[in-house]
Structure 1
Amino acid sequence: MSIIVIGNTKGGVGKSTNTIQVAIGRAIQGKDVLLVNGDRQSSSSNAIGRRDLAGLTPSVTLVAYPDGEQLRTQVLRQVDKYDDIIIDVGGRDSSAFRHAMMIADVMIVPIAPGNFELDALEDELVPLIDEIQAVRADNPLPIYAFLNMAEPKQFSSDNLATRRSIENFSQFKLLDLNVTKRKSIATASALGLSVTEMKPRDPKAVREVDTLIKALFG
């Protein structure tokens, strides 16, 4: 069992999109998955609702706990019932984000290329990480970042510059993968689908999402 937080204090970086892809992808692999929406926005909740309405299987159990104390209490009560617990938080510093980081086994940070995203990383997320790690003390939270909504050309100047900047932060380890900004990924996630379930299938999107899931779970 693992508790994985997917979050960033910067909105619009695709965290809910990736949450849906990881959660449904793991369910397709036969895992019993709990998706926790800790964001006051309902993106991931709406997506799973559409999946349920369409009667698609495998299903993903969804709960919403925007309050931090409730999120922490309820997730810890259910920790032995699921193979994976995926928590969607962020877009801002919140009590849900903080409590999720305190109970997580791993945190994943999607980062979009661009100067504004990097500024927000340094101004908001890094100080939050330092604060939580100080509280966790001898039980530090492993934190990994990856380039999300990346430019289609893997070695574009924006992609490379962003990756170099991310590598300068000691607070997280940069994963050797990019998830490109693809319409197929955004559309599938909004519908509550894995990219593997989309028709027609986008092989590049499937490969990128599979690479992300493999990096997280081996």
Structure 2
Amino acid sequence: MIVLVGNTKGGVGKTTLAVQIAIARACMGRDVWLVDGDAQGTAAAAIQSRADAELAPAIACSLYDDARQLRTQVSQQGKKYDDVILDVGGRDTAALRVGLMLADVAVVPFAPKGFELWAMQDMAKVLDVITAERDGLVAYAVMNKAEARRASADNAEAANVVREIPQFTYLDAPLVDRKAFASASSSGIGVAEQSSPDRKAVAELERLMLGVFQVETEGN
């Protein structure tokens, strides 16, 4: 299964999310390839930290920020893996569009803030272009960096706004803005692998994983 994590808006936590998804799938026994399509190489650096620490399970990782190389390599090598996780830059880039053409599922993280919500309309326009050329892409909008308060008005308002954008399926599995996610990802480990796991963070990620990979479950 090919899962793209991306948005035309930067700063919404896409790399953190891509790293956590890749590690979580690997810990389920899946053979995972994380493809970093961002020239900054943050996801690749995180997985290199994991390799340096000799942590198991190991995760294959490659950096292809050139769109043509990304298309060629994923098309040729992707079938060797159970899951391919694509992390692409936070702009409307050729790599983002190529990744959307290749993916089975797109995970589009957004933060419950005004600018981020406006940017979702830009991402929706990109999805229109892609879905005019191909069928079968499922695009999940995922609230990331949500407020911790259960009754947060900002969270509720943001969810309602995104639900009204027809290009997305809103996935009701928000991730709260927790230190555990960022600190774990920067070290190349999953939140469940931390020495003192944040149980709320672990539960949030597990709920997200169930939602993202429900297409696979339904297909079986």
TM-score interval for Structure 1 and Structure 2 normalised by the shorter chain: over 0.9
Deviations 1:38-58 (A, max 9, x none): 111221011001111111110
Identity of aligned residues (%): 45
Deviation of 1:155 (Å): 2.5
**1:50 matches 2:46:** no
Deviations 1:49-70 (A, max 9, x none): 1111111110110011111111
Which residue of structure 2 lines up, in the alignment, with residue 214 of structure 1? 210
- For structure 2, the residue ranges without an aligned partner over 5 or more in a row are 215-220
Return the alpha-carbon distance in structure 2 between the equivalents of residues 183 and 175 of structure 1: 22
Alignment partner of 1:166 out of 162, 169, 175: 162
Match of 1:38 in 2: 37
SS in 2 for 1:73: helix
1:4–1:104 CA contact under 8 A, matched in 2: yes
Deviations 1:127-165 (A, max 9, x none): 1111111122xx141111111110001330110010010
Q: In structure 2, the residue corresponding to 1:184 is in which secondary structure?
A: helix
TM-score calculated relative to the size of structure 1: 0.96
Aligned residue for 2:166, secondary structure, equals coil
Within the alignment, does 1:202 sit opposite 2:201 as a pair?
Answer: no
Unaligned stretches of 5+ residues in structure 1: none
Question: What letter corresponds to residue 123 of structure 2 in structure 1?
Answer: L
Q: Is 2:88 the counterpart of 1:89?
A: yes
> What residue in structure 1 maps to residue 24 of structure 2?
25
In the TM superposition, residue 178 of structure 1 has moved relative to its aligned partner by 0.8
**Residue 147 of structure 2 is aligned to residue 148 of structure 1:** no
Q: How many Å separate the matches in 1 of 2:196 and 2:136?
A: 42
User: 2:188 matched to 1:189?
Assistant: no
Matched, 1:135 2:160: no
Q: Is the 1:13–1:110 contact (alpha carbons within 8 Å) kept by the matching residues of 2?
A: yes
Alignment of 1:83-122 (within 5 A): 83-122=82-121
> 1:12 matched to which residue of 2?
11
Superposition RMSD on alpha carbons, in Å? 0.9
8 Å contact from structure 2 (residues 110, 116) kept in 1: yes
Conserved 8 A contact 1:154-1:178: no
In structure 1, what is the equivalent of residue 218 of structure 2?
none
Distance 2:197 2:99 in 1: 34
* Cα deviation code 1:173-218 (max 9, x no counterpart): 0011110000011100110000011011110011011111121224
Q: Distance in 1 between matches of 2:150 and 2:6?
A: 23
Count of residue correspondences: 214
TM-score, structure 2 as length reference: 0.95
Question: How far apart, in 2, do the equivalents of 1:150 and 1:112 lie?
Answer: 6
Letter in 2 for 1:86: I
Higher strand share: 1
C-alpha distance after superposition, 1:76-100 (max 9, x if no partner):
1112210000000130011111111
Moved beyond 3 Å, runs of 4+ = none
**Distance (Å, rounded) in 2 between the aligned partners of 1:154 and 1:75:** 40
